[in-house]
Amino acid sequence: MLRRIAMLSAHTSPLEQPGDGDAGGMNVYVLELSRQLAARGIEVEIFTRATSRHQPAVHDVEPGILVHHVAAGPFEGLEKNDLPSQLCSFVRDVLRAEVEREPGHFDLVHSHYWLSGQVGTVARERWDVPLVHTMHTMAKVKNAMLADGDAAEPIGRVYGEEEIVRLADRLIANTSEERRELIELYGAAPERVAVVHPGVDLAVFTPGRHDDARRRLGIAPDAALLLFAGRIQPLKAPDVVLRAAAEMLARDPALRSRLVVAVVGGASGSGLDQPTALADLSDELGIADVVRFVPTVAQRELADWYAAASVVCVPSYNESFGLVAIEAQACGTPVVAARVGGLSTSVSDGVTGVLIDGHDPVDYAAAIHHLLTDPSAREAMSHKAVRHAEGFGWDVTADRTLGVYVDAVIARQEALA
């Protein structure tokens, strides 16, 4: 029934390195889902905005996956909030891809994030195919839980998301909580919202490599390694990790000889306005000697950081799912995370990690200190974390997503009959 999918990821390319700029879990999601679909014999053409004149117009990533780099606006220096003004150009080139082929080239459109969703609503009508949309994050949810120093999402985004919810044939929510938010905050029809958890690459993020990973990364065997991995911006709350570390050292000075706080990732969003903010904060807190800043790394090296860590902390103000948390658990590392959004799904509280209400560094310090200083508790959570993560493989995600696609196609055919 399904031969070819148009995958829309307007504001960020799945080929970009996650952890830098606007690249994050969504990039991983789009690429890994596309790989799974291609492995099932479905061709995927991904459309994303070109950010360099040196990028080829069409890039053959691997068998079954093409990436179209669409020229829309200046190649460089354009921020995500500037992109709505460039969507007309993006829409034009996406539609041209169908015009240049035989009629009916695409069977379905799957858009990611609200900017792509706006493009998807046009493609849906022009191509007469179903539109499946994944929000990833939502303005109304983000604005209700803003971090200090973060800017509210504009009203234009809210209106855009409401339009997508109204027009999309199916909406994919990462968690049951996100499904509830789509229904209650956006008025989505319950029968059109399906829950499909994102996946984790269980061939890359594997357990049992703790000692080897530490040797490769130059981490002492007896170190108490606290890890933050992700984009450096207020939404992700990396400052909470540093403040929690300072609180732990104030209460347990002896820990200083073993504590290593690794912050892996690059500045993003409003974090770009103050690129030295975290380094300045570590100096201010008097913990610069134990903090190690690491630029964004490739997936396999990131897996080493997860495997080497004693605890991974994810104190975000909002997460639609929490891919970092699942990746860490797949490597056998317990997670201390905020009880927000999808983290309540990706972390099993008290079993594979600890969920914290709010963002008080004192609360995070207590939970992290317990795991750092109690090997038996950490070991018990480690084994359960691996088993928990095994239920989130990309093959499961792809199978369930295909089910949503088929439902959307059948419903559209019945509506047109």
Binding-site annotation: residue ranges: 11, 17-18, 22-27, 80, 113, 137, 157, 231, 236, 297, 306, 309, 319, 327, 333
> Virtual CA dihedral for 111, 112, 117, 119, nearest 10 degrees?
-60
Handedness of CA 396, 399, 402, 408 (dihedral sign): negative
CA distance 318 to 199: 19
Residue numbers in the known binding site for 1D-myo-inositol 3-phosphate are: 11, 22-27, 80, 113, 137, 157
> Strands 259-264 and 224-229: what pairing?
parallel
Q: How many CB atoms lie within 10 A of CB 60?
A: 10
CA distance 283 to 382: 32
Closest alpha carbon to 225 in 261, 186, 273: 261
CA distance 181 to 165: 12
Residue numbers in the known binding site for UDP-N-acetyl-alpha-D-glucosamine are: 17-18, 25, 231, 236, 297, 319, 327
Q: Measured in Å, how far apart are the chain's first and last C-alpha atoms? A: 17
CA distance 35 to 29: 10
Residue numbers in the known binding site for Mg(2+) are: 306, 309, 333
Residue the block writes with tokens 């949309």: 133
